[in-house]
Structure 1
Amino acid sequence: MGLLLLLCSSSVALSPLPSPAQPLSPRAAAAAPVRCTSSARRKLMSAALSGALSFSLLFSPPSIATESSPARTAKSEPSVEYCREEEKEDGPGAVPEKVTNEGLVEEAWNIVNESFLGTGRRRWSPEAWQRKKEDVLNTSITTRSKAHELIRRMLAGLGDPYTRFLSPDELSRMARYDMTGIGINLREVQDDDGKVKLKVLGLLLDGPAHAAGVRQGDEILAVNGDDIRGKSAIEVSSLLQGPNGTSVKIEVKHRDCGPVQSFEVQRQLVARTPVFYRLEDAENGTMSIGYIRLKEFNALAIKDLVTAMKRLQEMGSSYFILDLRDNLGGLVQAGIEIAKLFLNQGETVTYTVGRDSQHQTTITADAAPLVKDPVIVLVNNKTASASEIVASALHDNCRAVLVGDRTFGKGLIQSVFELDDGSGVVVTIGKYVTPNHMDINGNGIEPDYRSPPAWNEVIKRISQCKMLRQG
């Protein structure tokens, strides 16, 4: 997701790209590795749906395949015996507890039991899922490959094309969605005292941060000597980014009551820019149009789109065309932040709904827009997931008109959970709803025009939209 980690798991928000490489997901640590309780996972699940810096994975259409240095001396010792025991188990040189085949299958079952949102034709039934567990665990699971196959069949029985099993190799191919360049994803987590902390809720196995000694559940305290308390996850992710091959110093606190350590981590940003832009003449040369094509929502999407828009404005663009055709999605959080660039403070980007349909969370823009000029958003039947969030946010807030074909209709939220043996499960945990309260999933978004209208027509339609909203 994208990773959107749930207390005992990390997760990413994404949508897929062409596969077999499946480079799309950040990871979620499962309950066992971080000794998470079911109540802790539920607490983080709720946070995941709040949209803060959620990397819950939005995989795209099923018909389209988806695609260091040594630690320094600890500054403090654990203050609680329980935490000291945990550090002893999980610290450097520790021998990991061996997971049984039955334990692995049950771990996957528990994740689905606590977080799955049934959205398909088959109605979700806790009773039927309990019977599935009993049936599966009564089977002799003699090999790890048989355990993996049982998990695949168990998930397939849910009738959700997005909930599925990932082999250890598939789970590790997620670097293109690394938001920081050092192989971690961050989430703002509120503790029992109401204070917000930034924790490592997604970690690329054998990535730069993992190799240096950073672990899932660690709290980030400082970057290059600067205290980051009070900063958002997006702000700190930007501080961690830098040229490939350079280093960044980070200070982390292991778990909630573990020691504080400093690490120097070498950046390794592998994502490629998804942004292409140019200035075009329109209306017989009387106006300049800034054309921006956004191919996917990866780690560089936000920063490169901001750069493109600023340069086009400096070049004299009066209006913008945002081309989201064939954009299957990617990191949902990147899509949410990009939508905010066009919206006024307080305007709704999207709503999220989880298993409890009565609980709806609103994600809103929190600053003035970077661009106030009229926008045309180009869409087609391969505009999916995060792209649909952006398109609907701009359209429903009277910031843009949509041109092209009806979008794909992928509005589900997935989280990726890492299992104890390095494999993983992708689980649908919620869905997105447009600012006008339309369910995207299975419906798509109908554009305003099939072909680009004249700009005076665009301005007229946007003005009418605003009048209707105000009236």
Structure 2
Amino acid sequence: MKSKDKYLPILLFACVGLGIMIGGIINFPEHYSTPKNAPKAKLNKLIDFINNEYVDDVNSDSIVDLTVNSILEKLDPHSIYLPPSEQTTEAEIMKGDFVGIGVNFYMYKDTVTVVNPLPNGPAAKAGIQAGDRILFAGKSKLYGRNLPSDSLFTKLKGEEGTKVNLTVYRKSTNKKINLTVTRATVPIKSVDIALMINKTTGYIKINRFAETTYDEFLKGLRDLKQKGAKSIVVDVRNNGGGYLEKAVEIADEFLKEDELIVFTKNKKSIINKTFATSEGIFENGKVTILIDENSASASEILAGAIQDNDRGTIVGRRSFGKGLVQREVDFEDGSAVRLTTARYYTPSGRSIQKPYTKGEGEKYSHDFETRFENGELYAKDKIKVADSLKFKTKKGRIVYGGGGIVPDIFVPLEVKKGEEGLAYLLNSGVVDHFVFEQIDKDRNAFKDMTYAAFLTNFGKDDSFISKFEDYLKNAGLELKLSNNKEIVKTHLIAEFARQLFGEIQYYQILLKDDAMIKAVLKKNQ
């Protein structure tokens, strides 16, 4: 990695870190009525004074937002304010569905371009295909206007059962077509996949803990059991968290009755303990949890419960270290505040919250930089643990508090040292967009290709690596990919498979060479 790109990994980490800040552990929203008191009266009087007397016109809403943000910044890194636009998006993501047309798209050359329609979704049923450009929604022009994402969503979303007339340009046939799509409820999956990676090992990938996560997980777990799974791997890498309750419900499927899952403690030292029930459907098979430096909050609750009860093995790298519980307060204008109201603890009694200084959220977020510098992404003995924070698991094994879950089996980053940013780049939208554009050059060439033929042809083709390198260079990222040729090739082939064939094929290719999966299979031999 060239010197001018040395901050790339930190920037990429910061993007994931922001997701962790927003998507941390939260309980379901509550509405509060605030009592009249002197501090509130002082703030109201100041805002009224500014509105009535300040020499220039001022947006009072912006003043309030600034005040709220300033207050929360003085508390902890996870107490945050969400303006109405962000709160609406977050609420949909955590609810697990929205009403719309059901397409994955991105702005390609200032045109709404369909990467793929969701299977059996409204758009797919209406005839929308991958590669289609959506030019108009009704009479609203969607191209050549630099429209922000929220404006596009407004045009494509609507009430369930309503219709939207779309004018579409189909590049593969060089024709414009008119289609009518009936809006419907579209699921936002929080469980990406549940599949068998060998005859006895099932794999479940969870990308966040939303309202629907437990139901999605349970469906996948039952399916894998029916297929003969004696061992289950739960992947929560890059999972920034979500609802505490859903992590608890998933842990309950693996733990025996009355085993402690988690407990919380608030400012009044009131402790709430949550125990497993007798309802678990996988209480005896092998369990492995995959974690990394971006696994946070609810992901850490799940990993901590499994580790402290000696129920399974934690594989990967030290997790993020978020042990604060937020409660959401909604306001009438659609905004919300997520306020830290308690700390959570794993069954052994450890807090895995990493240290922070109030009012220094930026420094807290840059903990990733420290992990790069101290080498802990490549060697377990570089992880700094506090000897004063020793705890014991159910069987007496020593575990540590004070900064994330330390895995039982450590697996270093797969990319070469000094090129850490590439690992996160490969899991970003950059790869998706590059692959889409490559396919889009001649979509008809892939039309009748079988999966077997695809594997044969692409397995021998290294040209896409140099093309991807050029693509990154044109985007301002000069990265040499030759030192990490195999991992780059795997990610590119996997993404081609996803866009051409589907999620199952994507994960089949990606997991085949995954270092953590290899570590799991080696241990379970």
Bigger RCO (CA 8 Å, 6+ sep): 1
TM-score by length of 1: 0.49
TM-score by length of 2: 0.45
